[in-house]
Structure formats: C-alpha cells, structure tokens
Amino acid sequence: MTEQNQKNVLLSIRDLHIEGYTGEEWLPIIKGVNLTLHRGEVLGLIGESGAGKSTIGAAAMGFARDGTRISSGSIVFDGIDLTTASREDKRALRGARIAYVAQSAAASFNPAHKIIDQHVEAPVQYRIKKRSEARKDAIELYEKLRLPNPEEIGFRYPHQVSGGQLQRAMTAMAMACRPDLIIFDEPTTALDVTTQIEVLAAIRDIVDEFNTAAIYITHDLAVVAQMADTIKVLLNGEEVEEASTEEMLDHPKEDYTKSLWAVRSFKKPQKARPKDSEPLISVRGVDAAYGGGLKVLDDVSFDIHAGMTVAVVGESGSGKSTAARVMTGLLPPRKGEILFKGEVLPPRYRDRSKDQLRQMQMIYQMADTALNPQVRISEIIGRPAQFYSGLKGTRLKQRVDELLDLIEMEPSQYYNRYPPELSGGQKQRIGIARALAAEPSFIICDEVTSALDQLVAEGILKLLDRLQRDLGLAYMFITHDLATVRAIADEVVVMQNGQVVEQGPKEEMFKPPHHPYTDLLLSSVPEMDPNWLTRLLEERGVDNVGEAAEV
C-alpha cells in the first residue's frame, strides 16, 4: 500500500454531496463521501442497494443521473475538477480516459450493430486510432480476455454470443482507448457462478496488465475480495469504513461491516428424511417443453417429504423454474406425472380442485411483479384466506393481523398500505404472508432471495426457517446461489440441461466425491479468501473455467 501511496493520485473526491429529486423536494443521496484513487489501484465499493454505490460510480465520471444533482464537493480527475468542467471537457474524458462497464452487457450493447463496430467507435471518434488499427487492437484485446475465436467473435451481433462473453467484450470495449480509470458497475451480478469466474479472471488480468485504475462496484463481498486492493463500505450514502482488502476481511472495525461479513454464517442443521413415509410431493419422470420446441425437462424425478427443504440448483437455463411450472400446473408435462400425497395431480391447474391448489403455494423472485401495486396489503393477504376458508369481516381482519404478526410486520402500520410504499424485503415478506394465508403444506420458493441485499435476504431465510418449524411446511427452494443452499436446505437436487445430475442429502452433496458438474458448481462459488480466484485458476488452469470447463 505504501508503494501505491507514493504514486500520484488519479481521482480524488472530496466531501461529495449528491441530491435526488423525489416528490417535491431535493433529498440527499450521498452525504459527504471522500475517495482517493491512485493510478493502478482497484477500489471496491460495497453496500446494500440504495447505499449510493452506483451514484458515486457515475459521479466519478462527473455525471449525475436524471433527477439527481451534485450539490457540493469536488471531483478531481487528474487535475481537472469535473464538477466545474464544461460539457465538452467532460465528453473528451468519457470513453477515452474514463470508461464504464455496466451491469447488463446485453442491455448496453446496441443489438443492431456488430460488436467490433461498437468497439472501435470510441478510438475512432477521439482520433486515437484509425479504424483498421482499432480493429486489430480489438482482436488483440479479445485474445487477452480469452474470448473464443478472437479473430471472428467481434464480427458477430450481440445476441449471437453468450452473456459471459458479452460482458468480457464490454470490458474489452472499455479498454479500447486504454483509459486511466474504469468503473465496473456490478459486472457479474447477472451471471451464473460458473460464468462469473471467467469474467472476474479476465477483468483482473487486463486491469493488472495495463495498470488501469478501477472502481469495482458490487454487493458481493466474496467477489470484491478477489478484485480490489482497497475496500470502501457504504451505508445510506455515507462511508462506513475503508481499509485494504486483507485488513477489511480479517479485522473489520465497524459493527455494520461485521454484520455484512457474518451474513453467510446462518446455517440450520440438516434434517433427515422421515423413514418409510410417503413423500408429500413427488415428481415422476417428467418431460416438458414449451410449445413444440426442444425438451426443457428430460426425465426429471425427485421427491419432497413433509417438513423438509429441497433445494433445486443449477445454472440459468437448466430447467429449475420449468420444473416449478410443471408442478404448479402452469405447464402440463409431455410425459410423467406429479403425485401429491400419493395422489396423481391433474396436469393443468384449471383441472385441480380448490384444495389441491391451496396445498401448493408459490413465492416469487421479483416481489415487485408478484404483488399487485394497486391493491392494499390487507386485501393481498386477505384474499386467499377469504377465497379458501370463506372468512369475512372481523374474522378475516383477525386472520390478516395474525399473518402480519407471523411475518414480523406491525399490522396497524401496514394494513392499509400499498406495495409500492414498501421496501424490497417487506414486499417479499408480504409475498410469504400471501402464500401462508392459504394454509398450504408445500411452498415453492423461486429465487426468493436473489433480488435482495444480503442482510435482508438473511432475514427472509430465517423467517422461512422459523415458519417451517412452526407450521411444518415443506419447501422447494429454486436457487443458483449455493450459499443459500448451504444455509437452508435439507436435500439438494442438482440440475443441468433439463436433467437431474445428482441428488441427495445436503451434507453428502457438499462432501466429495461429487458428480463433475456439482463439483464445478461448488468450486465456482466465490469465497471470502482474497486468494481464492488465483488458487482456483492455478488448480483448473486459466482456460478451463466457465463455459469452457470440461465436465
């Protein structure tokens, strides 16, 4: 670190205040943040959503999003104060000396142009390189970032390459002008763990090679531990603490930081399958496809016993959510059947009886779209109770109050509110209460925590665990996050390409020997150890990660 301090300072943000316009007044978003970044240093910014990470990232380019303004403070980039610089001056910096890599590469590339044409735009625009030189350079960068077929891949359109490759192509694009500073705004959050590794490795190598300074924004501690030299923790627009990565991981000072670190420690003991009892739900040899297309599920079978949690894991596209759709009856299977307490369920939900529908409830990933924004909380929760049990008047109100108590929300305060007035975690709790209102015996949780911050997610997991103990519920937990699986599952089903590759009790599944695919999934989960990525790459070899990995 001392060596870096001697190098000159590239970016210095002093006492930055940013305000956002909400309703009718300007409210502070960033409340006096200081930040110093030296040349070649990688700074990790972490915090929950709403902590102001992305706002600071944008401010580092002198940019304030629509509806926000930089109200005071200074942002000095290499001697230029971006808060007072003219539009033209800032324009000349962006893309050429400061580059930005967004969370969703798929949404950031223009689908109508080839990747390489978008790549060479900036160098040609700023007259740094000629078009042919820039293309040659692009191909070199693709090679450095270990993209397959570097000669050819740039001439494809964005939809013709995979998400991980696109994210790497975007990093290459950010490198096109050899900027002094790159801002990475959650570049791997939307990717699967297996794809995440290759992007992380590629980003780290190229940042090292060109000695580029970077601000790495993420909410995933394990990821930031791999990437950053220094970590800054933010909470509600204020800095909590800043320290070098090793120090931050080993000796966090503030309580808030400690609580972030401790999140992954939640773990419930594994429950064994009850002996010689009939499974509550059993999926038998199910094949399914959308329309007349390819099979999305291929001979899938698993059992879920009463009071147990079964985690279904796999990458996106492995058929986890389709399995849930088949079970709920939204997608009738081509072959196979779903048994509930030994009885065959009708394949279509329309043909199922009210009681069969009541027994199986769902909690969704996006609480925003899972709750009707125009309906009061009391009715969202009250409707299933009214619909199935025929409760009315004061008895219905009592039941809603009970349910709100159950999810640890104050009934009098939330009874008449609407979903958009709640936070993400609260919305997810309402989603849980709606499922509970039906008094089910089985709940499908479809990525319920993946859209939430770690602390909030932990609260939800604990709540689900308590409810399971109190009410004897069975859960099917669809997730790609193995930390969640470790925390809550009793049994694990691993899926790949629509097939179940391995299943069994959690403890067994996390102990070797694994099925090679399970092994790949497990070893791809980032760990808090800052040397994890280096070690993993050494073990596997740099070319044997992610999509290229041999299974």
Asked if 373 is part of the footprint of another protein (rule: CB under 8 A), the reply reads yes
- Which of 26, 157, 266, 349 is in the footprint of another protein by CB under 8 A? 349
Distance CA 333, CA 430 (A): 31
Instruction: Between 435 and 493, name the residue whose CB sits nearer to another protein.
Output: 435
Of 269, 291, 273, give the one whose Cα is nearest residue 282. 273
Indicate which single residue of 77, 100, 340, 364 sits in contact with another protein (rule: CB under 8 A).
364
Candidate segments 298-306, 372-380, 396-404, 461-469, binder of another protein by CB under 8 A: 372-380
Q: Taking CB under 8 A as the rule, does residue 390 contact another protein?
A: no
Closest CB 38 distance from another protein, rounded Å: 38
Residues 430-449 touching another protein, rule: CB under 8 A, are: 434, 438
Q: Between 10 and 324, whose beta carbon lies closer to another protein? A: 324
The one segment of 314-322, 346-354, 394-402, 407-415 that binds another protein by CB under 8 A: 346-354
If binding is defined by CB under 8 A, does position 26 make contact with another protein?
no
The continuous run of DSSP H or E covering 15 comes out as strand 9-22
Phi-psi region of 238 (alpha: psi -120 to 50; beta: other; left: phi over 0): beta
Q: Tell me: does residue 256 bind another protein (CB under 8 A).
A: no
**What contacts 190, CB < 8 A, 6 or more positions away?**
103, 104, 163
Asked if 49 interacts with another protein (CB under 8 A), we say no
Distance CA(133)–CA(139), nearest Å, equals 10
Give the nearer residue to another protein in terms of CB position, either 234 or 326: 326
Element (H, E) at 287: strand 281-289
CA terminus-to-terminus distance, the chain: 40
Of 517, 452, 522, 495, residue with least CA distance to 326: 495
Considering the complex, state which of residue 209 and residue 351 has its C-beta at the smaller distance from another protein. Answer: 351
Of 100, 126, 479, 106, the C-alpha closest to 318 is 479
- Can residue 422 be called a binding residue for another protein (CB under 8 A)? no
* Contacting range for another protein; rule: CB under 8 A; set: 138-146, 182-190, 369-377, 397-405: 369-377
- 330 part of the interface to another protein, by CB under 8 A: yes
- To 10 degrees, the CA torsion angle through 63, 65, 67, 72? -30
Residue 282 touching another protein (CB under 8 A): no
From residue 477 to residue 516, the character string flagging contacts with another protein as x (rule: CB under 8 A) and all else as - is ----------------------------------------
173 DSSP 8-state letter: H
Is 418 a binding residue for another protein by CB under 8 A? The answer is no
Q: How far is CA 199 from CA 24, 185, 318, in A?
A: 42, 13, 20
By the criterion CB under 8 A, which residues form the site for another protein? Answer: 328-330, 349, 352, 354, 357, 360-362, 364, 366, 368-375, 383-384, 387-388, 420, 434, 438
